[in-house]
Structure 1
């Protein structure tokens, strides 16, 4: 069934061609922070424009939606926001040997919109002086133009619909540099790639560390540099920065507008008079008057707002979120903005009967050309399908008129699907539930960016986890199930870690005016790929080397990687821990049968656990049919893993290495054996991951300020052993935890979960707790206010606190 949209065009820039005088004013005025906004100090490094400058015709921008990569309106230049190097790059569109321009940003830049004569950039944080010094120690030197290296043109492999691609080749560590320099022809793949095993067949195992073909490279001798989260986090606020193009310097700063910390997403109205900026950690959306360079509205929204899409009338915007299923809708952009929530349940065709799915990773969203449909690539947590233990990457489509999902709910009778995939056994233990779709498309895992290609009515989606650019049909009710082409952006992978040697973790896409060329920024290898969509020819420009120590840089690539069988069953660490934070989801953990042996596993929903068949031994049938599933909320990682241990909700793992090894087992399907935890190369992978977690995965920025009187009162209550007595377990000196498991009064068992046998839970860290709702291991407390009000004497003692004291305690907790 096709969902057809009429072909009207996007508004052209008669609106974009705002008066030159207005743009000049925006570029020259020194903006002041909005009332109640951040403490960012506005500056201007641009020369004042001549008052006699004649108005010039404005060329329409390629897009008004922010991304980490943008094309100039004339298509001659590529702008890149590299937040890990805290730099902006200006490149020739042909990715030639012409030197790149490198502009040091005031903080980590996130998204760009390139107008004619004005380039807008969101900056996640303006760090304090000590935070800046700490960040520079982490990221290394600012890149230089001389550090950019071009890779020659290569033809990418395009996978047809029927293929489940493991394209690419494996390169031994000693040959990496030769291959990247074009001095070495890589071997063809030889079955090294993982695939789901057939029933009864042993799963592929990692080769032992002594194997010449798969051995880990030696530790590089670059010790990690663990940072102090309390220093690195310090922020004077987020920014929207306006730059004007300059022939000599590339970009020259014109103005700054202060917004809430962690400024990320960006959208501009068609008349270029207003912009919407999302501040992810702060949970705010700011509406900015670009002519006056000031914030006109700051709106509180749900957790982790990210992408911004503004309707053609310039009055309405939609915002996606990394956490939760709903979108935010802002109306009255041209007058008095207001924010409301719009429900968008993920993937109705994949939803098990009687269940509700969670969602995460909605980094981006995009309108159809006529504005009737809004596309949101993301993860549908708990979605059904063969092998979908955690869910599936999907593209949800909102009908903007009805504000409903266009896909029908799944019914028992229709539709039905079958598959002849060789690795799927007989029902009911291996097959999807009747009427459910087959397995999820791995090349869409961890969707990070999307654009609409009007000439073909398709969406291009960048997969952070699979290092792929995939084109899907936009005119269907379920675009993720109709893949037209997939481009492997790397072509070669490290034989040890299976991470991309180039084209790793694509995070941004831009289309040329004729829509025949796609530009992709790849964040873990710091490349820009230029792809001819008709021929598959591609070239790369390597912008800079990773500023982290080599070991931590490997860890960065492993963190996003969904290809490595040893790490997990089809998703990367960044799938559940985007930006090192959390997906806000409560998983089910239970002992599931793997070829008649029980192993601990996570599943999204109870419905994802398949039943037993006539060949299942009686002693394991009960466990397979109804295993006990306990709630486990995803914990935040960034800024919380400096200690050696213990880790786990029950403090069951004494070291971080043990916890990550346990994670390798938990994060895979019930039919898969885990990786070989005794192999030296797998321990090496963990070493690299730990280096990245402790010295490269930065915590969210939070404002530096004195505590208010209410917050000071809450701090005194927190520390008082005779009242709340919080600090006895949540020790401030050790990340607000003593890392000890205590027996606690059992909580009421939530529907869909089983009662906990072990009620001794480790004291969790309270650092950054304001942004990690819901709370408790089972997510039963939706807010901090709810947690404190209902706690009683279960943890410390809040039962005797007055309402004002409880409010003060909550206010202090939100500052941690």
Structure 2
């Protein structure tokens, strides 16, 4: 273990605080008490028990109780909260407490358990949509029932992230789909305020002063900072560039960060750690960017790592060798920056993070590789290398492996044992609990790796094929499907990452005049060899609730059905990884069919707000269906607001510095579904429009005819679109 003087100082403060707490709660000893007549003696009062502080102040999928040997698990897919007694024993199965909807996070206090519930589900089907409102449940542990509800607070739909203030008086809750952050008074169980924030807010942490909070977003690098948490709260953007040591000084690249599901403070609150994926970071074979743990100094709100003043081109020898193996040019000036080049992925699709005080390290759940990764919390750039990787799954890079085979699929939540020598990990896609013995980093007792203990949480509620598909959907290790990025990397929870990718399209080698997608990368990459261009813009489409139709699929409708599109994706989602038919059908087809089964039976659509339409929304619906406006001509309401046909948009003013033109100047695109459109900005294939208001304002006669509408009618049309 690495120890400094500050460690002993903090330990001393802890001991003094504990001593003071004991003294403040001192009871008069029996020998000093005044004797009472035996005949009138009342039963002796139980000594007041000191209230135990929560072990963490940020909620998550898995939390250890501060007051009893147990774990609390938010099992979203099965719509229950589970109490898992410790030590986990098959003879003592978890107690499952049914929730009114899918629970997202739990947070255990001394005598209460807080639970965020994404919405109300009126059916037992785990893949059925849920409705608003979101909920914060306050529950009391019960030996028999597991949990008993004490109260609930209605919040904006899709209640997800959770944190409490240091005095335990206020809970903060994020609502991703409705882009809101709310505060709840835990004494009165009343909502104190709700703030509108940019899309997909996820993790929330509160500084030790209890007055300032930071919120991460799943589709951007910039944080939301909330001031005056305890009063008239207000929100502002706080720039927080992604992977500054490895990202060129391009504002678009620095802002391109995704998958910031979690965040954690150092014990003194001086540093904020945010694991995420930096789409703009450079490195060897970085077709989709690089993983990162970015650190914010909360003292002056500056990134701990600062971009270097100069960027330069260096030769990446390992990458040149790879190019040579493909028969391409040996020389490849590859931009990597002045920081050490990251060889391989340290983690993929970070989902949860905890701070291990004993060793001053971070534990990150790597959803895509079925690993728990331990990083140095004192490092300027922790994600450049791992101190230890704990493999929770199995290597699926051999042809003998069954699709989706793993011990622990999609690690989603982490909790530490009391001595921090063991990590408990919730394996979401395989529905297990992994028990991991951690490295003590003690030279006197070298660590010997061993497989994790696996504790089953019961059968999967999905049909077998869809259950396999769930494991594949989150898996980035299966070389038949992707190059170090799973479906969930671009389609988190079946939604979208808000990013515009670059899709390379080239002429078929055997059929001249036929063009097909060949590869994809996050940003333009000017290679020294011929064939890889800047790429055509392709915004990530949303999947959940939009894949019921047979076909066609793809922005150009190039895939006649969903199976074809998934197999095309297997080729696209790897740089230099080969085309869609590079591998035998007996291996690709079962994987594609399983993923499709999960996409249709397991991906849960965002919450719908079923309410009586306002006068403005009704006016917008009339305009939408008006033949003179023409929206419903292509976006047919009866078929999920699309006819799935190709529509010509006419010449397009695209960004020539970043993208290539459409092949053969073809500006026809498949009509997208408008379901859930309000939460899937930006719009168009190239993401060139940021809001629905801007889309309608600039549309003219491109899609229908909106140029003749009044300002009020345009606003009404937007209002209706937001109800879909």
User: TM-score when scaled to structure 1?
Assistant: 0.78
For 1:440 and 1:808, locate their aligned partners in 2 and report how far apart those are by CA, in whole Å. 52
The match for 1:518 is 423
For 2:345 and 2:385, locate their aligned partners in 1 and report how far apart those are by CA, in whole Å. 13
SS in 2 for 1:349: coil
The match for 2:270 is 372
The match for 1:85 is 78
For 1:441 and 1:450, locate their aligned partners in 2 and report how far apart those are by CA, in whole Å. 20
Q: Tell me the CA shift for residue 807 of structure 1.
A: 0.4
Distance change in 2, residues 1:498/1:492 (3 Å): same
Q: Tell me the CA shift for residue 262 of structure 1.
A: 0.7
Q: Tell me the CA shift for residue 289 of structure 1.
A: 0.4
For 2:527 and 2:643, locate their aligned partners in 1 and report how far apart those are by CA, in whole Å. 39
The answer to whether the Cα contact below 8 Å between 1:384 and 1:437 also exists between their aligned partners in 2 is: no
Distance change in 2, residues 1:472/1:675 (3 Å): farther
The match for 1:63 is 56
The answer to whether the Cα contact below 8 Å between 2:571 and 2:582 also exists between their aligned partners in 1 is: no
The match for 1:611 is 528
In the TM superposition, what whole-angstrom CA distance separates every residue of 1:312-357 from its partner, at most 9, and x where no partner exists? 1111111111111111111111112111111111011111354632
The answer to whether the Cα contact below 8 Å between 1:62 and 1:513 also exists between their aligned partners in 2 is: no
After the TM superposition, which residues 73-472 of structure 1 pair with which residues of structure 2 at under 5 Å, given as runs? 73-74=66-67, 76-96=69-89, 97-127=91-121, 132-133=122-123, 136-138=124-126, 232-352=128-248, 354=250, 356-357=252-253, 358-412=256-310, 424=322, 428-429=331-332, 432-433=335-336, 435=338, 437-439=340-342, 441-472=344-375
Distance change in 2, residues 1:641/1:305 (3 Å): same
SS in 2 for 1:698: coil
For 1:642 and 1:430, locate their aligned partners in 2 and report how far apart those are by CA, in whole Å. 45
The match for 1:192 is none
Q: Tell me the CA shift for residue 91 of structure 1.
A: 1.0
Q: Tell me the CA shift for residue 811 of structure 1.
A: 0.3
Distance change in 2, residues 1:713/1:111 (3 Å): same
The match for 1:616 is none
For 1:492 and 1:765, locate their aligned partners in 2 and report how far apart those are by CA, in whole Å. 38
C-alpha RMSD over aligned residues: 2.8
Work out which of the residue numbers 738, 748, 754 in structure 1 matches 2:653.
748
The match for 2:545 is 639
Distance change in 2, residues 1:334/1:628 (3 Å): closer
For 1:354 and 1:319, locate their aligned partners in 2 and report how far apart those are by CA, in whole Å. 23
Distance change in 2, residues 1:421/1:306 (3 Å): same
The answer to whether the Cα contact below 8 Å between 1:388 and 1:440 also exists between their aligned partners in 2 is: no
Work out which of the residue numbers 512, 520, 527 in structure 2 matches 1:602.
520
Distance change in 2, residues 1:721/1:379 (3 Å): same
Distance change in 2, residues 1:355/1:293 (3 Å): closer
Q: Does 1:567 align with 2:481?
A: yes
Give unpaired runs (5+ residues) of structure 2.
Answer: 22-44, 325-329, 440-446
Ranked by relative contact order (alpha carbons within 8 Å, sequence separation 6 or more), the top structure is 1
Q: Tell me the CA shift for residue 499 of structure 1.
A: 2.6
For 1:77 and 1:565, locate their aligned partners in 2 and report how far apart those are by CA, in whole Å. 38
In the TM superposition, what whole-angstrom CA distance separates every residue of 1:64-102 from its partner, at most 9, and x where no partner exists? 110000101035001111000001111112112323211
Distance change in 2, residues 1:412/1:671 (3 Å): farther
For 1:300 and 1:476, locate their aligned partners in 2 and report how far apart those are by CA, in whole Å. 34
For 1:676 and 1:638, locate their aligned partners in 2 and report how far apart those are by CA, in whole Å. 28
The match for 2:433 is 528
The answer to whether the Cα contact below 8 Å between 2:505 and 2:536 also exists between their aligned partners in 1 is: no
The answer to whether the Cα contact below 8 Å between 2:682 and 2:691 also exists between their aligned partners in 1 is: yes
The answer to whether the Cα contact below 8 Å between 1:668 and 1:674 also exists between their aligned partners in 2 is: no
The match for 1:546 is 460
The answer to whether the Cα contact below 8 Å between 2:314 and 2:336 also exists between their aligned partners in 1 is: no
For 1:774 and 1:413, locate their aligned partners in 2 and report how far apart those are by CA, in whole Å. 30
In the TM superposition, what whole-angstrom CA distance separates every residue of 1:283-305 from its partner, at most 9, and x where no partner exists? 00011101010110011111111
For 2:508 and 2:707, locate their aligned partners in 1 and report how far apart those are by CA, in whole Å. 46
For 2:632 and 2:319, locate their aligned partners in 1 and report how far apart those are by CA, in whole Å. 56
For 1:455 and 1:94, locate their aligned partners in 2 and report how far apart those are by CA, in whole Å. 21
For 1:772 and 1:391, locate their aligned partners in 2 and report how far apart those are by CA, in whole Å. 22
Work out which of the residue numbers 613, 629, 635 in structure 1 matches 2:535.
629
Distance change in 2, residues 1:790/1:606 (3 Å): same
The answer to whether the Cα contact below 8 Å between 2:312 and 2:335 also exists between their aligned partners in 1 is: no
For 2:522 and 2:48, locate their aligned partners in 1 and report how far apart those are by CA, in whole Å. 57
The answer to whether the Cα contact below 8 Å between 1:465 and 1:560 also exists between their aligned partners in 2 is: yes
Moved more, 632-641 or 512-521: 512-521
Q: Tell me the CA shift for residue 593 of structure 1.
A: 11
Distance change in 2, residues 1:415/1:244 (3 Å): farther
User: TM-score when scaled to structure 2?
Assistant: 0.87
In the TM superposition, what whole-angstrom CA distance separates every residue of 1:669-700 from its partner, at most 9, and x where no partner exists? 13656563542221111111111111111101
Distance change in 2, residues 1:278/1:54 (3 Å): farther
Distance change in 2, residues 1:451/1:578 (3 Å): same
Distance change in 2, residues 1:242/1:419 (3 Å): farther
Distance change in 2, residues 1:628/1:307 (3 Å): closer
For 2:466 and 2:456, locate their aligned partners in 1 and report how far apart those are by CA, in whole Å. 19
The match for 1:41 is none
In the TM superposition, what whole-angstrom CA distance separates every residue of 1:695-734 from its partner, at most 9, and x where no partner exists? 1111011222111111001000000002x21001000011
Distance change in 2, residues 1:505/1:671 (3 Å): closer
Work out which of the residue numbers 469, 472, 481 in structure 2 matches 1:555.
469
Q: Tell me the CA shift for residue 435 of structure 1.
A: 3.4
Q: Tell me the CA shift for residue 581 of structure 1.
A: 0.2
